[in-house]
Structure 1
Amino acid sequence: MNHKKCLAEDIWSQQGVFEAIGPEDVATLIYTSGTGGTPKGVMLTHRNLLHQINNLWEIVPAVPGDRFLSMLPPWHAYERSTEYFIFTHGIQQVYTTVKHLKADLQHHQPHYIISVPLVYETLYSSIQRQISASSPARETVALALIKISLLFMEAKKIYEGTVLSNSPVKPSFIFYMFNYLRARIVAALLWPLHNLAKMLVYKKIHSSIGISKAGISGGGSLPMHVDKFFEAIGIKVQNGYGLTETSPVVAARRPFCNVLGTVGHPIKHTEIKIVDIETGEVLPDGSKGIVKIKGLPVMKGYYKNPSATNKALDLEGWFNTGDIGWIAPHHATGPSRKCGGMLVLEGRAKDTIVLTTGENVEPAELEEAASRSSLIDQIMVIGQDRRRLGAIIVPNNDEVVAAAKRKYSLDGNNGLAKDTVMSLLYAELKTWMAGCSFQIGPILVVDEPFTIDNGLMTPTMKIRRDKVAAKYQSEIEALYN
């Protein structure tokens, strides 16, 4: 364009060349990756994004000069809102990948790490492997001290009022005082050993991981055993909740009240309610149902898709997340007094597996329990319209070989027989899922991991159940037949 010609024709003053941007104008289109279905273009407005910038500090009270380490793609809603927040607060941003995560943690020593639950699970598994690789005496001492720290933290929760409960009934004063005093005594007895563990074990873990303030987890629920472990060793992990359609953050655990098992309170200018899956009736606190969200973070709608928009947003502006959860009841006193109003997630409504027996199964709970095994890298529970549950498992081959050598006194590194692998995996499932309501029947062992590159995981590292089921359709049929 000729600059002089533009000036001569006064083209810049013509109406329509420059148009004022309003808060409700679309700032960006982000297509949902989703765990199933066709991607939809989410219209996020300037108001949506500004809401994130203005309200995330309550969750992450970072100061200029703090270093953030992140590994999500920059076009992802979670990463984008985080970056907007970071760059408007004078914070340093360091990018990494799964491959370089461990080295970058040690090199950059970040104050915060922004990532998804799978990364914290990976760090947890890495620490467990380091402990297992030490001498038998060191391993025994380390595991014993970790167990003591876990007991110490459980006792603290009772007298600090952070015991998560969905019961609306307040415990009797006498019963609570008895538990309160007992918890105080237990904590006092365990405190010296917990501090010893800090010096002998946790100090080394901290130096290798390098997270000095907190890990921020989003994009899915953090497995409880991982959550408890990091709390026990003194690394704060704050779990949050959000979707692309909500810009994305709508709730998160605060630094001063980091209640495990929850995704915290809603952030400012955000409402959350739980409704009955069938009737849509609003449910009382403590009752499980569909999570609905309303407020400034909620999208304008889906781009050129009014049908999908009307399904997701009702006339009052409530967005149907499709997630199942409940809100912790409020108690003025007692062991749960600080948990009131916090959101707890229990899976996706559309992930629910309905067996031919009529029973409904939430696979997330079972997968979380099974994934605690060091022999299992990834697992997806299956069984829709079947008589019993099954699972597709990606084993950790190194751990399977090591377990086989220990159990069967095998020598060399020759490939293991299929029956041996299956036997070991079934034993692990039986051990780790002993407390679950449902058990796994037939299993399909696959070598190819679920990854973003092969299309079997979303960018936030959640398994695309429909894609995995489609890929192994014939094997699943053979498994049940």
Structure 2
Amino acid sequence: MLGTSINPIKTASSSPSCCSSSYEKRMETMLSLTAFDNCNNSVPFLFSRSKLHCSKTLVTKLPGVRFQVSPGSKFRVFCESKTQELQIRRCSPLLEKVSLSSNDAVVSDEWKAVPDIWRSSAEKYGDRVAVVDPYHDPPSTMTYIQLEQEILDFAEGLRLIGLKPEDKLALFADNSSRWLVADQGIMAMGAINVVRGSRSAVEELLHIYNHSESVGLVVDNPEFFNRLAGTFCSKATMRFIVLLWGEKSCLATGETQGVPIFSYREIMELGRESRVGLTDSHDARQGYIYEAIGSDDVATLVYTSGTTDNPKGVMLTHKNLLHQIRNLWDVVPAEAGDRFLSMLPSWHAYERACEYFIFTHGIEQEYTTVRNLKDDLRHYQPHYLISVPLVYETLYSGIQKQIYTSSTARKFIALTFIRVSLAYMDLKRIYEGLCLTRDQKQPSYVVSMLEWLWARIIAAILWPLHVLAKKLVYEKIHSAIGISKAGISGGGSLPMHIDKFFEAIGVKLQNGYGLTESSPVIAARRPNCNVLGSVGHPIQHTEFKIVDSETDEVLPPGSKGIVKVRGPQVMKGYYKNPLATRQALDEDGWLNTGDIGWIAPCHSAGQSHRCGGVIVLEGRAKDTIVLSTGMLKA
């Protein structure tokens, strides 16, 4: 706002009558004809009187207008500038590079926040299909460019309905393309999402909402919201509610007590119109101060299961999650066009980190459900399946059922071939050096050579039968389940008989290990070093150590103890819980996983020479018994 005081100049002959009524009239005329000749005539002028240099002075306030007074005019112009309070817009640095650049901010092409990945992927993979979501109404398919624009529109829509940077916003919903857009939209505008699925108990969700100090709720569908409404509307403060799927007319609006409710479509329309206005108007952009989201800023709160007490809110930063995105390719060497099936809860750290990672490599993700998994495996023929051990156990049971319900001859042939293949793979692990051992003693070179030679000879005899089994039996299994590159397993212990069976039929399973507190992946088996019975080597930039449960002394390879881990993916801490944070994280940044395990010794030769450094888990520390020998037994 500009306040402009126009004061008459007293000449040598001037007298106190300079501010007479007639002079005031002449001055008003002069101002209207001279001072504002170059101004926008549509701007309304407001004149008021105040005492300054003489008894009467004309003052005008012109919103946003500057003007020049001609040199010959007999008055002086004083301008008092009042700065309008600007709104702060936090932006994902690379995703909204244009906005930050217009504000003279330094912008890097390096990822600093998770949503930055969408700018890179849109530029690189553009019109490739990113997501296929066939089981929601309406079904949706989006390319990488479309997905990037949806995320930007959703972020802008949230800004318009009152979400501010660093606000917490509860995202209680299940796996879908709109969950992904909402998750990334919240992050992209500098807020923090608080995630959970629809199967959680209402009281648990209420605790998470209130403990996190969330200001609003993004909810999956009307049915789920109606289950929450009675409790939430009386015990939680909500600035707004956003409905991802379904119609607002199906909501129990009587419970909401005037809280604004927006559909997904409404948020998108608000955001799209606002972004067009910002793009077209330089003045509109000048109404904001643009700030870049920092890599150390909290991106999300993920609450632990809370089986014995209230769940704890794990604070994961953009840096934590970006570590996963940058360092999982050694585990899953995805290529543009590869198909992934997504069925795990998106809010779970395991599924979430894997999704972020694969979208940086131009893959196509199909959303499925437990009910539709069998048909979708056959239909989509995915290159990868990211899931939990239970899913692979279910697939194993289905294959076994097919074999045992077939004719006697077919059953005999299939089971015989499977036994041959199991024996062949056992021998192959021996001569490839992929057999686990805790023995720290280096094997004899001569003995190692004899073992290698024996395994090679027997494997060569079995190899033709194994190849024949692929043709007659395993190809049919592959056509039914796809998974042509690998099945990634995490979130639980993978039974050895499941591991060996899929290896025998030519479906590679890669087991991994992680915790919510570590974003989550800290170790995983590699395609070229798939040591059965282990969770693989630490991923890049990650340190492991095994310590004594009582003395905290570091134990040598092969010794069981408490697993501790350190790396860029380790959480910032538990939200509003410094005591629990100190119990989990020490001063040097080591995270106590609470798991019992050991690190395989390094051997220079023999059947374990490629296993050195892999992590083997034995159970949870709270489930172990200390024997009289001092050993730990899970």
Shared topology, TM-score over 0.5? Answer: yes
User: In structure 2, do the counterparts of structure 1 residues 274 and 6 end up closer, same or farther at CA, with 3 Å as the change threshold?
Assistant: farther
Q: 1:73 pairs with 330, 334, 345, which one? A: 345
1:154-165 mapped onto 2 (5 Å cutoff): 154-165=426-437
Instruction: Please state if 1:227 is matched with 2:499.
Output: yes
Instruction: Please state if 1:134 is matched with 2:406.
Output: yes
After superposition, give the CA deviation of every residue in 1:201-250 in whole Å (9 maximum; x if it has no partner).
11111111111111011111211100000000000111111110000011
User: In structure 2, do the counterparts of structure 1 residues 10 and 110 end up closer, same or farther at CA, with 3 Å as the change threshold?
Assistant: farther
Q: How far 1:198 sits from its partner (Å)?
A: 0.7
1:381-420 mapped onto 2 (5 Å cutoff): none
Counterpart AA for 2:482? G
Counterpart AA for 1:121? E
Q: Match for residue 114 of structure 1?
A: 386
After superposition, give the CA deviation of every residue in 1:320-361 in whole Å (9 maximum; x if it has no partner).
001111111011211111100111111111133689xx9975
Q: How far 1:97 sits from its partner (Å)?
A: 1.9
Q: Is the 8 A contact 1:329 1:341 kept in 2?
A: yes
Q: Match for residue 602 of structure 2?
A: 330
User: In structure 2, do the counterparts of structure 1 residues 10 and 90 end up closer, same or farther at CA, with 3 Å as the change threshold?
Assistant: farther
After superposition, give the CA deviation of every residue in 1:402-436 in whole Å (9 maximum; x if it has no partner).
xxxxxxxxxxxxxxxxxxxxxxxxxxxxxxxxxxx
Q: Match for residue 242 of structure 2?
A: none
Q: Match for residue 296 of structure 2?
A: 24
Match of 1:57, SS state, is coil
Match of 1:231, SS state, is helix
After superposition, give the CA deviation of every residue in 1:28-70 in whole Å (9 maximum; x if it has no partner).
1100125543310000011101101111111111111111112
Q: Match for residue 248 of structure 1?
A: 520
CA distance in 2, matches of 1:164, 1:155: 13
CA distance in 2, matches of 1:95, 1:345: 31
Higher relative contact order (CA 8 A, sep 6+): 1
Counterpart AA for 1:315? E
Q: Match for residue 46 of structure 1?
A: 318
Q: Is the 8 A contact 2:448 2:605 kept in 1?
A: no
Match of 2:329, SS state, is helix
Q: Is the 8 A contact 1:240 1:264 kept in 2?
A: yes
Q: Match for residue 271 of structure 1?
A: 543
1:137-176 mapped onto 2 (5 Å cutoff): 137-176=409-448
Q: Is the 8 A contact 1:238 1:253 kept in 2?
A: yes
Q: How far 1:157 sits from its partner (Å)?
A: 0.9
Q: Is the 8 A contact 1:251 1:264 kept in 2?
A: yes
After superposition, give the CA deviation of every residue in 1:369-413 in whole Å (9 maximum; x if it has no partner).
xxxxxxxxxxxxxxxxxxxxxxxxxxxxxxxxxxxxxxxxxxxxx
Match of 1:119, SS state, is helix
Q: 1:301 pairs with 549, 552, 573, which one? A: 573
Match of 2:511, SS state, is strand
Q: Is the 8 A contact 1:6 1:12 kept in 2?
A: no
Q: How far 1:273 sits from its partner (Å)?
A: 0.7
Q: Match for residue 363 of structure 2?
A: 91
CA distance in 2, matches of 1:224, 1:349: 21
Instruction: Please state if 1:237 is matched with 2:509.
Output: yes
After superposition, give the CA deviation of every residue in 1:96-143 in whole Å (9 maximum; x if it has no partner).
222211111001111100001111111111111111111122112211
Q: Is the 8 A contact 1:159 1:335 kept in 2?
A: yes
Match of 1:58, SS state, is coil
CA distance in 1, matches of 2:546, 2:448: 29
Larger Rg computed on CA atoms: 2
Q: 2:460 pairs with 172, 188, 193, which one? A: 188
User: In structure 2, do the counterparts of structure 1 residues 35 and 258 end up closer, same or farther at CA, with 3 Å as the change threshold?
Assistant: farther
User: In structure 2, do the counterparts of structure 1 residues 177 and 278 end up closer, same or farther at CA, with 3 Å as the change threshold?
Assistant: same
Q: Match for residue 469 of structure 1?
A: none
Match of 2:302, SS state, is strand
Structure 1: tracts of 5 or more residues without a match: 363-481
Q: Is the 8 A contact 2:320 2:571 kept in 1?
A: yes
CA distance in 2, matches of 1:263, 1:129: 29
Q: How far 1:88 sits from its partner (Å)?
A: 2.1
Instruction: Quote the RMSD (CA, aligned, Å).
Output: 2.4
Q: Is the 8 A contact 1:43 1:300 kept in 2?
A: yes
Q: How far 1:22 sits from its partner (Å)?
A: 1.9
Q: How far 1:175 sits from its partner (Å)?
A: 1.6
Q: Is the 8 A contact 1:162 1:259 kept in 2?
A: yes
Q: Match for residue 86 of structure 2?
A: 12
Q: Match for residue 310 of structure 1?
A: 582
Q: Match for residue 431 of structure 1?
A: none
Q: Is the 8 A contact 2:560 2:632 kept in 1?
A: no
Q: Match for residue 562 of structure 2?
A: 290
Q: Match for residue 342 of structure 1?
A: 614
Match of 2:608, SS state, is coil
Q: How far 1:309 sits from its partner (Å)?
A: 0.3
Counterpart AA for 2:86? W
After superposition, give the CA deviation of every residue in 1:417-460 in whole Å (9 maximum; x if it has no partner).
xxxxxxxxxxxxxxxxxxxxxxxxxxxxxxxxxxxxxxxxxxxx
Match of 1:251, SS state, is strand
CA distance in 2, matches of 1:54, 1:316: 24
CA distance in 2, matches of 1:136, 1:361: 43
Q: How far 1:254 sits from its partner (Å)?
A: 0.7
Q: 1:208 pairs with 456, 463, 480, which one? A: 480
CA distance in 2, matches of 1:304, 1:359: 37
